Structure 1
Amino acid sequence: MEYTKEFKERDELLGQLADRGLAVPDPTVALNFLTRVGYFRSGAYRYVFRQLLPPEKIDARLHQYRSDDYIAGASIEHVLKLEAFDFKLARVCQEGLLDFEVRLRAAMAHTLAAKNVAAHADKKFLDAHSCDQLSGDQTLGKHTKFDAWTTTWRDAVRSGAEDEDFIKHHLLKYPHQDVPIWAVTEVLSFGNLPYLFELMQTPDAREVARMFGFAHPSRFGAMLRMMVDFRNACAHGSRLFNRAFKRSVALGQHDTDGDLLAHLVGADFTNTPKPRQRLYIYAAVLAFMLRSHSSGSNWHLTFKTQIKKLDIKLQAPNGSELLSPNVSMGFPAGWLDLDLWKSAS
């Protein structure tokens, strides 16, 4: 199929939206919006205001479920309000994720340093079975996970030496000794921390997991990868509203301490499609881990406050609520009454 869409200036695009039924009360404000976020990105927020196609016209293969025309009452002002809400929501989530990242670095560094200051560099302080497994990185050939990890942390140290004085100091003063773990964890990217965690010996990994309320290292390791995806979405300006993350989160009855996440066990905690890939379950796990840490956290209250600001009063053609946390982001009915989102006693 040949791509036939042609370039249009912003005022032409705005006129096209108006022709399709999207009210534009103030063209100047609307043009400023399209200039700031771009027409294509604005489409992610306009999408929910478009009419659903009748069943016989839906093309699931091409993911075509909505008409180009907008529902009655839809306005560009609704789109602006939704984008502003989502932008602030990403900043709130990023704040919580940064807090978690700092705590995770400290927990892993402390646990490994108690065994050896360079435990990351010696297989005898890590899990031998995990270290000897073949790496999934095809560019390394038949290298082990420990080989891949060694390349990763050495690259991080080499890069860190260009910007960080504490790395330069060590390399100059102790040229024949590996950089200690507490320095390595500071220059590793957040995305590389799960690789180190998965190479830790089970007792050490369990110790870190329990700092964040998880009973089993394997389940906590899965949560780390989920948090990396979550952080990347926030940091790169991706949409959180109505988003389905690529990783599906599953929690068992005995995976965590206490019952703050008990409502997520099972598949019926929300009516939103793909419930285990939506914002709610990601944010709930983050809130739980921060609250479980010995330092405590009030991030869950900040998150709750932001979610309550989603207040766009517009009905779908069938009379149902068009936009709400329950409909679009996997929130359970009555989530505000759950202990997870209340002030710690």
Structure 2
Amino acid sequence: MIYDKPPLSFADQAQRLRERGLSFDDPAHVEHYLSHIGYYRLSAYWLPFELPSSDGITRCHQFQVGTTFEQILQLYIFDRKLRLLAMEAIERIEVALRTRWAGSMSLRHGSHAHMKHELFKCPWNHARDLGKMVNELHESKETFIVHYRDRYTEPFLPPIWAVVETLTLGALSRWLKNTKDMVVKKEIMRSFGMPTVEIMEGVFHALTPIRNVCAHHSRLWNRRFAMSLPYIQRMRHTMQPPNAPNHAEHHLYNYLSLINVLMKAINPGSSWKTRLIELLNTINPAQQQAMGFPTDWKTRPFWAE
């Protein structure tokens, strides 16, 4: 097929939505948001408000009777607030993981432990990750990196507590998984309240897509993620189990549950869970279930305590 859809002005976009059954009183109000958010971006949020198609595959593009533009806009605003809240937590988790890994590795193996291939399980993966680090630091304009290059010649890379500040969560999770020293890993595991090293590694790896969605301002609300989190037996009364109906374990609920566990380990007095519940209460149960939330989640001890 050849794509031949013509571009539409914001006024024409608003008119098209009205023709498809969307209710609103002020076209200028709708055009304002279309011009600042985008028709295509908003369409992901009005999809649940559309009537089902006759074949169950293609989109009908007609709205359910009574659907208003404000309903769609409020769902979009909810998702934006949800991303900000998730990113706040992941930032805290990422910084804590950097600090724990660099601190344990340096105390046990020296300031430049990251350069010692014998400390890592797979030398090929270590060489790959170290090479990426070298390339990025060579071009870095960070003050502390420039200072090290100007002042020191050996070793040619800064110490581990400096270079770790340049690692993304994805890169950091790879370095952690490849680390050979189980003493280091168990120290980090206990500091985050994880039951095993394997689960800890799986959790940090699986959080990377969440972090990337938030960082790139993509839709988080009802997204289905390719990888699921490790199932934690002691959280069996909280988490959606593997092979849950409608692939609930691949949606956001389990991730938010594990993020809350990590946040409590970092800061037991954190208000993050309270603020998350307050935000969730602004949407209806069906919209909560689109994130994988079970119908009785509010009464489960994990959330009620």
Tell me which residue corresponds to 1:11. Answer: 11
Partner SS state of residue 248, structure 1: coil
**2:238 maps to 1:263:** yes
Matched with 1:109 is 102
Asked if structure 2 preserves the Cα contact closer than 8 Å seen for 1:21 and 1:71, the reply is yes
Aligned residues: 302
- The residue number in structure 2 matching 1:52 is 52
Give the SS at the match of 1:241. coil
Partner Cα distance (2:187, 2:237) in 1: 22
Distance 2:113 2:218 in 1: 36
Distance 2:236 2:273 in 1: 13
- The answer (yes or no) to whether the contact 2:192–2:266 under 8 Å persists in 1 is yes
Mapping 1:164-183, distance limit 5 Å = 164=143, 166-177=144-155, 178-183=157-162
Match 1:214 to one of 194, 205, 214: 194
Partner residue, 1:81: 74
> Is the contact made by 1:301 and 1:342 (CA closer than 8 Å) also made in structure 2?
no
State the Cα distance separating 1:190 from its structure 2 match: 2.4
TM-score between the two structures when normalised by the length of structure 1: 0.82
Q: CA RMSD in A?
A: 2.0
Supply the AA of the counterpart residue of 2:292.
G
CA distance in 2, matches of 1:151, 1:204: 23
Deviates more, 1:34-43 or 1:19-28: 19-28
Distance 1:262 1:205, change over 3 A: farther
Q: Is the 8 A contact 1:248 1:277 kept in 2?
A: yes
* 1:221 shift after superposition: 1.5
How far the C-alpha of 1:85 sits from its partner, in A, is: 1.1
Q: Equivalent residue for 1:139? A: none
Which residue, out of 65, 69, 82, partners 1:72? Answer: 65
Structure 1 position 260, deviation (Å): 4.7
- The CA distance in 2 between the partners of 1:4 and 1:51, in whole Å, is 25
What is residue 135 of structure 2 aligned with on the other side?
155
**Structure 1 SS opposite 2:223:** coil
Q: Which amino acid aligns with 1:172?
A: D
Within-5 A mapping of 1:130-279: 130-132=121-123, 144-160=124-140, 162-164=141-143, 166-177=144-155, 178-201=157-180, 202-253=182-233, 259-260=234-235, 262-264=237-239, 266-267=241-242, 273-279=246-252
Native 8 Å contact 1:211 1:294 kept in 2: no
2:243 and 2:249 in contact (8 A); partners too: no
Show structure 2 runs of 5+ residues with no match: none
Once the two structures are TM-superposed, the CA of residue 243 in structure 1 deviates from its matched residue by 1.0
Alpha-carbon separation, structure 2, partners of 1:265 and 1:10: 42
Q: CA deviation at 1:7?
A: 1.2
| Per-residue deviation, 1:268 | 7.2
Q: Which residue does 2:271 correspond to in 1?
A: 298
CA contact (8 A) 1:280 1:330 kept: yes
After superposition, where does 1:124-135 map in structure 2 within 5 Å?
A: 124=118, 126-127=119-120, 130-132=121-123
What corresponds to 1:121 in structure 2? 115
Give me the whole-angstrom Cα distance separating, in 2, the residues matched to 1:338 and 1:158: 50
- Point out the structure with the larger helix share: 2
Aligned residue number for residue 138 of structure 1: none
1:37 alignment counterpart: 37
TM-score by structure 2 length? 0.92
| Greater mean alpha carbon deviation, residues 231-240 or residues 183-192 | 183-192
1:250/1:276 contact within 8 Å kept: no
